[in-house]
Amino acid sequence: MKTVCLYFQVHQPWRLKIYRFFNIGKDHNYLDDFTNRAIMQKVARQCYLPMNALLLKLINENKGAFKCSFSITGAAVEQMRAYAPEVLDSFRALAETGQVEFLAETYSHSLASLASKEDFVEQVKLHAAMIKKEFGKKPTAFRNTELIYSDEIGEMVSEMGYKTILAEGAKHVLGWKSPDYIYTNALNNSLRVLLRNYKLSDDIAFRFSNKGWDQYPLTAEKFASWIDGEVGEVVNLFMDYETFGEHQKADTGIFDFMKALPAAVLACKDVRFATVSETAKSSQPVGVLHCPHVMSWADEERDVTAWLGNELQNEAFSKLYALKDQVKALKNKDFDYVWNFMQTSDHFYYMATKWLSDGDVHSYFNPYGSSYEAFINYMNVLSDFEIELKRAAEAKKSSRKKEKEKEPVA
């Protein structure tokens, strides 16, 4: 029996407003409320609501034979609550079917796993609590930001109690091996690793509407035959949820393709759909995945240079995490909130200077005119945040001193 695992990432970053040098010390509201609202409501109309309705219909029609999995970042859920609560209701409706699994990840879609084990663990706990509150179940499978993975990261995830982790089926890691099998983490064999079949995943996510592609147009029947032809035990199709209706517009036929896909796949002999956790248990691991260096699902290199590949990104990242201890010591919810959304990986992605093979992808997702503009804007916000952090720490220290002076002398 071959298992098809369909997984979607749902993420929307809190976008910063244009914050100039002269705002520092005066303006402490950092977010672009208008843009955040507009984008969330647009993506809700074009992707989340119609796609959730379609998935709910497919689940009900196939009576337990069709399943899928999601990870939804805390930043996305916060924006749904604020700007599109009906979207959150539609995700809850999917959860209630029992055919949809929600995975854990970092709350703010951060790069914490590359910087601080303590902060990584805290963010994962915060996210897991949010998933439990919103969808009624504690997650048992994990998906790190942008499929960032290494042996060490997998070990940390296993120590947190997770049984399964997702990763990229990168050629430079797999070598001759196939992503269509289950593997285990090299440092903790109890953690099962599911690898993305990036060719089939990208056929939907990136090539679906490309009229220059030699397989255009892609039909559900053709795609199902490719799945059936894969030599392996699992076929992991991992992609951004915004693929449906946002990156691939409705007029490309992407919704019609998805509507026909379950029936086409289930018509193949000995092929079934399963959630991430079910897939991990569907067969025994065939071996250990050795990944001593960090990989991701981004760009041709499948590494982390999309976020930490130049001096701008590394300087901003270093300055951000230099404030970690001060934020933790303050124990203030307002500062914790800003700390969380400033960690979101998108801020560093906007600073990328990879304008070769991956330039089009980076420019598509970048709201700034240049990488340098993204860097300056982020650093201006971070500078104001640092000033306010110091002021709050001094005020707290002064308050404690006054309280101590009021204490009666024994």
Residue positions annotated with a catalytic role: 146
Q: What is the DSSP letter of 10?
A: E
3-class secondary-structure state, position 71: strand
* Separation CA 131–CA 128 (nearest Å): 5
* Residue partners of 35: CB distance under 8 A and separation at least 6: 15, 17, 367
What is the CB neighbour count within 10 angstroms for residue 360?
8
Dump the DSSP string for 299-364.
Answer: TTTTSSHHHHSSHHHHHHHHHHHHTHHHHHHH--HHHHHHHHHHSBTHHHHTT----STTHHHHHH
Query: Where does 44-186 have alpha helices with state H?
Result: 49-62, 74-83, 85-96, 117-135, 151-159, 171-174
Identity at 127, one-letter amino acid code? H
Phi, psi of 372 (to 5 degrees): -65, -40
Q: In terms of Cα–Cα distance, which of 271, 191, 290, 180 is closest to 224?
A: 271
Q: In terms of Cα–Cα distance, which of 182, 162, 154, 152 is closest to 287?
A: 182
Q: At what angle do helices 117-135 and 85-96 cross, to 10 degrees?
A: 80
Assign 3-class secondary structure to 187-206.
CCCCCEEEEECHHHHHHHHC
* Residue partners of 38: CB distance under 8 A and separation at least 6: none
Specify the DSSP element, H or E, that contains 5: strand 2-10
CA-based max dimension of the chain: 86
Q: In terms of Cα–Cα distance, which of 114, 241, 236, 253 is closest to 182?
A: 236
